Amino acid sequence: MDLPFTAPEPYILMLTGAGFLIALVAWLPLALKKLPLSLPIVCILIGAGIFCLPEVKFRPSPINYPVITERFSEFVVIIALMGAGLKLDRPFHWRRWGVTWRLLAITMPLGIGIITLMGGALLGLPWSIALLLAASLAPTDPVLAADVQVGPPRSGEEDEVRFGLTSEAGLNDGLAFPFVHLAIVLAASAGEPWFGRWLGVNVVWEVVAGVGGGWLIGKLFGWLTFHIPAETKLAKTGDGLIAIAATFVSYGATEIVNCYGFLAVFVTALTLRASHRDHEFNVQMHDLTEQIERLAMMVLLLLFGGALITGLLAPLQPMDAAFVLLILLVVRPATGLIALTGFKANRFEKLTTAFFGIRGVGSFYYLAYGLNHMDVGDPDRLWAVVGLAALVSILLHGLTVTPAMRWLDRRQGRDPDKGETTGEAHDRGKA
């Protein structure tokens, strides 16, 4: 008997694809743990393969879908920022966070200044557009840097390199925003006075209010989660969705009053974690946040892979490629080493911290935001440059991160092949 067969509906194909994607989210990190290969590289390859199929008619492009690009990359970044803040074991302290302040106060401003000059001199961009490109490419990325960040809460995976890269990625995504706004202001100023408003509103108010708002919301969620009467405190639910709720409330509330939501979310995460630093519920909140982050990141990188094979890099010029390589191989390492001059760390730790300045989803967001708020004559070329920077960073850092971090662990007396399971970490934390 012949079985009836009809072509599957797009909805059924989407469900099937989503199932495979979720399975990959769970399995690939384990499969790639000891390989010089990263999850983002695999996602881009899969995306390129999917969108090469003639049956797939949709062509992802940040140029054709500017608002969706801005909002989706924004969503992925804020989830990553909550996860980064929750997994930092080190309490906030000005001295103990010394590596963070050096990278934020020296590396990022130096990087923005140098990249702006390079954009104007090498690429021939107007200075306001060169500044937007620099503000997009200078911050390190909290989404694609999982392999160089600290481990889950109370896992013991928090050396100076991992801590510095995690805390830098958590804070510099918010602190790059004043420079994005400066580019927008310069493009629209037409000779009118702008400095006082930019300094007062976009720098002082939006940074201070972002930090303050994030702290208040973190305190509120910390009290609701850990400190109200036992029967009603949120930790009793065992539901890590509380972290997602805190993310959305923090970002939404601070954006409503026009301050930096990225900064607020990271501060909220730090404050929430500090409310009861050793409680096992921190692990549950982090784990759920990380799962959502990985799933959203994989979807975004599948689309990025599709954009790459459908012409995203077509507008590139030879000087654009040289520009990207200079940023990743010279500017970031050099400015990182300058910032770490005099810092108490060995040479390999300084080199590792300076080298692994990963670019990615945050750069997509800043460029999309800037292009949606200012008039740029040739957005295709800017997307090609940022797309190439993200691609090269993902390949360069993704292929080197596993051997580099395993070598770092061995130098510090840890066996990278004997990592603790989550349960073992919990038991150690209770002992």
Domain count, the chain: 1
393-416 core/surface letters (b: 16 or more CB in 10 A; e: else): bbebbbeebbebbbebbeeeeeee
Secondary structure element (H or E) that encloses residue 119, with its range:
helix 108-121
Inside any domain, residue 385: yes
Identify whether 290 is part of a domain. Answer: yes
Tens digits of residue pLDDT in 82-136: 999 999 989 888 888 999 999 999 999 999 999 999 999 999 999 999 999 999 9
100 occurs within a structural domain = yes
pLDDT profile of the chain (431 residues), mean per 10: 61 80 77 74 89 84 94 95 92 89 94 96 94 94 81 77 90 88 87 85 93 95 85 76 94 94 95 90 91 92 94 94 96 95 88 91 95 89 96 91 83 65 38 31
With respect to residue 34, please indicate whether it lies within any of the assigned structural domains. no
Q: What is the CATH number of the domain that holds 209?
A: 1.20.1530.20
Q: Quote the pLDDT of residue 402.
A: 81
Domain ranges, residue 355 = 60-415
5 in a structural domain: no
d(C-alpha 297, C-alpha 76), whole Å:
6
Residues contacting 117, CB < 8 A, separation 6+: 130
Q: Is the pTM of this model over 0.85?
A: yes
Is 97 part of any domain?
yes
Asked whether residue 8 is domain-assigned, the answer is no
Q: What is the pLDDT of residue 424?
A: 40
Output the six-digit token pair for 134.
Answer: 């620099």
Whether 420 maps to a domain, the answer reads no
